[in-house]
Each structure stands twice: as structure tokens, then as C-alpha cells.
Structure 1
Amino acid sequence: MAKTPKALPELDWLIPRMKLSRALSLFNFVALLLLLLVWNLWFADLHGARPWVVLSIQLLPLLLLAPGILLGNARAHAWLCFVVNLYFIQGVLAAFDPARALYGALATTISVLLFCCALLYTRWRFQYQRKLAGE
């Protein structure tokens, strides 16, 4: 018994969802960048470390993906789903420290929202491309 493949959604259903998930992905991506920047420059106790070193280490993974995210590349959004897990872990660990609880809660929330939005954008973008190709 061969399974029949599930039908792809119609374009008029996909397009608004794709646009919304992309906009939310961009918003959460920028929010995470700003959170890391603001926290490390003004609020973090770096114990004598240079802020630009800490920022470069924390922002490098996001900045490597930034061109693809800004252009709407579905593969960049898929890779972002992997990378954002690092920030989720960092947020959860920071949430246990009373001095960094607010930062941890914000980082965790933003990273979960970013993961979900990027994942949905990736799924719907690939379905959109398959639908345009005639599947």
C-alpha cells in the first residue's frame, strides 16, 4: 500500500502566513540582537572582561546568518532554528540567577518566539516554492 502524498496548501493560504512569519522572525531576530547588545553594554557584570569581546562572541552566530535572514532565505531561517537554541539555553541558565532573571526570561521568550516563527517561515516557504514548481 503506497501512501498518497498530502496535498500542498493553496497559494492564497500560504502567502499571508509566509509574510507574517517572516515579519515576526525579523522582529524577534532584531529584538534578540538588541537584547544582547543592551544587556552586555549596560547591565552585565563582565568581571573585567572587555565588552566588545563578549559581544563579538555572542553576536557572531547571529551576524553570520543576518544576510540570509534579511533577504528571506528559507535555508538561513532553518539554520537560525539551530543557532537560536544556544540563546535559549543561555536564557534558561541566566533565569536561575536572581541578578539576571529578567534578562534570562526575555532571552528565553524571544528565542522561543524566534524559533517558532523561523520554523514556520521555513516550512511555508518551501511549500510555496514546491507549489510554484507545479507539485
Structure 2
Amino acid sequence: MAKKAKPLPSLDWLQPRLNLSRGLSLACFVALLLLLLVWNLVFADLHGARTWVILLIELVPLLILAPGVLLGSARAHAWLCFVVNLYFIKGVLAAFDPQRSLLGWTEAVLSFVLFCVALLYVRWRFQYDRKLAGE
């Protein structure tokens, strides 16, 4: 026997949650970009590596998704959930190095919060769109 579908929340319930999750995801996204940029330009000891190469490797995955995230695309936020896991792993690994522990913990926490709020945005956005379509 088929299980009855759970009804979608109302638009009045979804709208403030959409706005909050989108605002938090944008804030965390920009904060992660700035953290990586400032750390590599100011604090990182790159042992002779070219700074622009390191920045390119670290920032390109986020910059590819930036237009979609800035425009509020649910798909871009969904892809962001996949990509941000790499930064979480990098942050956890850096947290165990005494010289980079501040960067590591900050990057891990920022990427974890970004993952959570981007995932919530995707869920609520699709529910909102389904509700608008008359479902």
C-alpha cells in the first residue's frame, strides 16, 4: 500500500526560512572565500610556491559556483554542498597542524555551516517552488 505524501508547508512558513538560509549561505560563502584569500596572501608560508597558483587551486571551485549562488539558484547550492566537503576535509587536516590550526578550525566550521544552510536552502526552495506550482 502506497504511503500518503506529507503535505507541503505553507508559503508563509517557507518564505522567512528561505530568506534566512539564503542570507546565511551567502555570508558563509563570502567568508570562506575571504578566509582562503587572506590566509594565502598574508599568513601562509608557501615554501617558494607561487601564490597565484595556490589561490587558483583553492578558489576556482568556489568561483565556478559563485554566479549561481549569488543569483539564488537551488542547483548551485546543491552543487555547493558537494564542493564544500573538500574544504571541510582540508580544514580538518589543517586543524591538526599547530601552525595552521586556527585556519583549519575556522575553515572546517565555516564549511560545515555553509553545507547545512545550503542544504536547507535547497530543500526549502524546492518545496517553495512545488507549492507555487500548485502541488
Indicate the TM-score class for this superposition, using the shorter chain for normalisation: over 0.9
Note the C-alpha offset of 1:71.
0.1
Gaps of 5+ in 2: none
User: Partners in 1 of 2:46 and 2:123 — Cα distance?
Assistant: 39
Alignment-derived partner of residue 75 in structure 1 = 75
Letter in 2 for 1:27: A
Residue 27 (structure 2) aligns with: 27
Aligned to 2:92: 92
Identity of aligned residues (%): 75
Shift of 1:2: 1.2
**CA shift at 1:42, angstroms?**
0.6
**Residues 1:47 and 2:57 aligned together:** no
Write out per-residue CA displacement over residues 11-38 of structure 1, whole angstroms, 9 at most, x where no aligned residue.
Answer: 0000000000000000000000000000
SS in 1 for 2:5: coil
Distance 2:127 2:2 in 1: 22
C-alpha distance in 1, partners of 2:117/2:30?
Answer: 13
Q: Structure 2: which amino acid aligns with 1:32?
A: L
Unpaired runs of at least 5, structure 1: none
TM-score (norm 2): 0.99
> For 1:54-133, what aligned pairs fall within 5 Å after superposition?
54-133=54-133
**TM-score, L = length of structure 1:** 0.99
Q: Partners of 1:43 and 1:30 in 2: how far apart?
A: 19
